[in-house]
Every structure is written in structure tokens, then in C-alpha cells.
Amino acid sequence: MENKTYIDGLIENAKKAQNLLEDYNQEQTDALVKAIGKIIYDNREILSQEAVSETGLGVLAGKVSKHDKVTTSHWAFLKDQPSVGLIEVDEVNGIYTYAKPVGVVACLTPSTNPTTTAVGNAMHAVKCRNAVVVSPHPKAKNCTAHAVSLMNKAIVSLGGPENLIQSIEEPSLELTNELMSKVDVIVATGGSAMVKSAYSSGKPSYGVGPGNVQIIVDRDYDNYPLMVAQVMGSRLYDNGMPCTGEQALILPREKADEIIKIFEEKGAYMVTDSADIQKLREAIFLKGFNGPINVDIVGRPAAEVAKYANISVPEGTKLLMTKLDKYGSDEVLCREIMCPFIRCFVYDDFEDAINIARTNLFMEGAGHSSGIYSNNDVNIQLAGSQMPVARFMVCQANSNVAGNTFSNGLDPTISIGCGSWGNNSISENLTYKHLMNKTRVSFIIKDAPNPTAEEIWA
């Protein structure tokens, strides 16, 4: 079957299903959103097993946890939000705002989080009465198709339309490009090439940028056990694949050894031999500085990465670490690395810490997120004002940037916008608000002031 004919069939099915939602009220719409989230939550273990088995990436416990967090946090956030019909009345300015669907949304999903990305984007899209066509990574097509099938089952069980959520059965670059040219909006979660392709499609697109999380530890901060626990928990999550994982620690020189010792007590291994560090460079980036990351180490445990690089590490090693003197474009290991590996830098002045972080981010990862462990509000505000990121986390695990926790106020998402720094259209967490058209009904403001030009320019 010709690609155009196949994609046209998906689009036709999606439009028919989406048209049937036009008359849904808020209660009916929310029932669908809850149902698709709940059925993925209920099947999180089998979907996680399928994702690990099919892709060979990550760990089962991490996948299960992510399904849990994404579905529950998304529903908790979405259930009370207005997204149908009249959603806002501004009596002062005489504006009534009505929410409308955008239509058919293409969701491009990665192999690293295939089923969680599908359900997260679907919940936000259906919240605004849109249809969804998922373009899965070829290495995750079966588990993604299963998740989509479950979500449709839940929709139909409530009397909703069939094919509201669909998935390309045999994904390819050609089919994905064809899909992007036919839908109304694109949400691209994956590598930079995918995001660039989405933005080049000619259709409204939301993409994500790469992460390269830099964490500054301030001199005044001393709760090292808590910090180490949070960093390791976040960095080891799903074998270090999430873009939200901490990549670099920037430590005060006089405290560095004390902090690193606590990491070592918790299962980290500090690679100190220069020859071994060079082995890591060559194993992780096979084609040098400008080459892609070696897919054979992505989502692999620390011990396997060390073995691949022919480095001997103690039994039970959970995390690889190393100290680096150079940063930014002078050191390839300053790039984002999607496995349990953290690089450490030391600083003398706080401004030096900010400079190290900024340099690494502008080399790769600007716009995404970073953080600080500090009790000094002046330093927190200084770093926050200077860091080129959309989210700057204070004394918390950087995995919290996705908002899939109830401990901060960030909107829950599976797609993290990185602004112009990361060549993205938004510098915030993508939610249903970005998948909604709005009609603003404007009235004349009674007794509105009508200042003269002279009064305005005075």
C-alpha cells in the first residue's frame, strides 16, 4: 500500500473520531481523559515489561514507576482544568474565552519512553477534544501499539469514538514525514533530528531539546546525604536515560572530596586514571566530539558501561563518576550522556560555578533544566537569573522538572519545552493549553478611559 494512502486512512479515521467529540461537554471529555490514563496505570507492569523487552533499554522498576507518576500526576492536574466551551470570563476587559480543539495531533514518541510518552501526550490532547496519531520509534512499535489499543478500548467502553488514538503500525521516516504534513499540530519528543524535522514540516510544532543537567552545590549547603540520595535516585532512574537526570556536579573545591566520598559509600565509583577516562570518551562517543552517543551504552547499567569501555570497577557499582578539569567544547564528556555517569567539577568562586554550568549548557543542553543545592537566597537568585534554562530546581531532584510530583508547582508533562535556547517554540512544560485553540469574544468596555496621546506620552 502506498504511504500516502495509508497515512490518509489514519487521518480520515482521526478526523471522523475528532468530529464526534465536538459536542462533548467538559464532564464527558474528562471521563475519556481519566479512562485512558487509568487503563495505562492499571497495565503499567505489562507495558513496562514489553517496553524493556522490545527496546532493550532501561529497567523494569523505572518503567513501572514512570507509568505510575505520569498517569497519576497528569490526571490530578487535568481533572479540574476547564478545556471545553466557555473557559474564562474577564468582566473588567469584556473578554469571554471559548476553548476549541486544534484537530488531529501527531505525537512522535521515542524508544526511551515509548508508552509513557504516548499516554502523557494523549491525555493532554484528548483533554481538548483532539484526535491523536502516534508515530512510534521503530524499535518500540509493538509496546506503543499495545498502549494505544488499551487507550482506545477505554474510550470505546465509555461510548466514545473508535480510532480517537491511533498508531502507525510499521513506522518509518517516510511515513512519519507524511504524517507530519497531514496533521494539524505536531508534538515531537525525541532526538534533535526528529524535532528539527517536525519544525521543518510546515505545521505548528512543539519539540523538546536535549538535556545536560548541571547541578551547583553552594558552599553553605551541608546536607550532603540528602543531596546524594536525591541525585543518585534521579540519575540511576531507568539506567540514566531520562533527559532530566543530573549530568554534572559543580562542587566547592574544599568540600568536593567529602561529597564524593558519600557517593562512593552509596555505590558510586570514581574513575581517576587518565587512561580509563580516555577509554570512556572513546566508548561513549565513537566518532569523537561531534559524533552521536554510542547507542550500545544508552540505558545500560554502570557496570556494563565500564565493561564495554574495558574498565575494571568494584562489584556492585551503581554509578560512574569522574573529575574533569576542562569543560564545554574542550571536553567531550561534558555532553549529555544517557547512562549512569556523573562528571564533577570544582570551583573557587561562586561566579566560577555559574560559568562552568553556563559553558557546558551552551555547548549542549541549553534551555532544558539545571539546579542548585543552596540555602543562600542571593546565590540562588543570581544563578537562576544567569542560567540559560527554562527550569532551575532548588534543593530537589532534577527529575522533578517534569512536574510529575506533588512537591513543586511545575505543570506535569512528558514533553519538556526548551525555548529558543533548545530551538523549541515554548520554554515551559507542554500541556493541554498548547493543544487548544481559543476564541475570544470581545465586548466594548463600558465607561472605558480614553486618554489622549499627550496623556499617554507624558
The answer to whether 391 and 214 have CB atoms below 8 angstroms apart is: no
DSSP state of 295: T
Mean pLDDT of all residues in 355-376 = 97
Enumerate long-range contacts of 170-173, CB under 8 Å, 24 or more apart: 170/141, 171/135, 171/136, 171/137, 171/138, 171/141, 172/138
Residue 4 has pLDDT above 70, yes or no: no
The DSSP annotation for 236-275 comes to HGGGG-STTSEEEEEEEGGGHHHHHHHHHHTTEEEE--HH
Mean pLDDT of all residues in 203-211 = 88
The topology under which CATH files domain 213-403 is Aldehyde Dehydrogenase; Chain A, domain 2 (3.40.309)
Q: Which CATH superfamily does the domain covering 3-208+425-442 fall into?
A: Aldehyde Dehydrogenase; Chain A, domain 1 (3.40.605.10)
pLDDT digits (tens, 9 = 90+) for 261-284: 999 999 999 999 999 999 999 999
**What's residue 289's pLDDT?**
79
The whole-angstrom separation of Cα 74 and Cα 70 is 6
pLDDT digits (tens, 9 = 90+) for 115-163: 999 999 999 999 999 999 999 999 999 999 999 999 999 999 999 999 9
Query: 153 CB contacts (<8 Å, ≥6 apart)?
Result: 39
Question: Which residues are the active-site residues?
Answer: 243
pLDDT digits (tens, 9 = 90+) for 220-237: 999 999 999 999 999 999
Residue 195 has pLDDT above 60, yes or no: yes
Mean pLDDT of all residues in 354-368 = 97
Edge-to-edge strand order for the sheet containing 246-252? 268-271, 319-323, 341-347, 246-252, 213-217, 367-373, 389-394
Q: Report the phi/psi class of residue 72: left, alpha or beta, with left for phi > 0 and alpha for psi in -120 to 50.
A: alpha
The DSSP annotation for 89-122 comes to EETTTTEEEEEEE--EEEEE--SSSHHHHHHHHH
CA angle centred on 266, ends 265 and 269, rounded to 5°: 75
The position carrying cell 524535522 is 197
**What's residue 3's pLDDT?**
57
Closest CA to 354 of 333, 329, 385, 332: 385
Residue 191 has pLDDT above 80, yes or no: no
The whole-angstrom separation of Cα 2 and Cα 180 is 16
Closest CA to 432 of 45, 43, 12, 77: 77
The whole-angstrom separation of Cα 412 and Cα 404 is 5
**What's residue 199's pLDDT?**
79
Residue 422 has pLDDT above 80, yes or no: yes
Q: How confident is the model at residue 197 (pLDDT cuts 50, 70, 90)?
A: confident
pLDDT digits (tens, 9 = 90+) for 70-117: 999 999 999 999 999 999 999 999 999 999 999 999 999 999 999 999
Q: Provide the residue ranges of all domains of the chain, joining segments of one domain with +.
A: 3-208+425-442, 213-403
pLDDT digits (tens, 9 = 90+) for 55-69: 999 899 999 999 999
The C-alpha cell at 161 is 469514538
**pTM, two decimal places:** 0.92
pLDDT digits (tens, 9 = 90+) for 283-323: 999 887 788 899 999 999 999 999 999 999 999 999 999 99
Average model confidence (pLDDT) across the chain = 94
Residue 1 has pLDDT above 60, yes or no: no
Residue 198 has pLDDT above 90, yes or no: no
| % of residues, the chain, pLDDT over 90 | 89
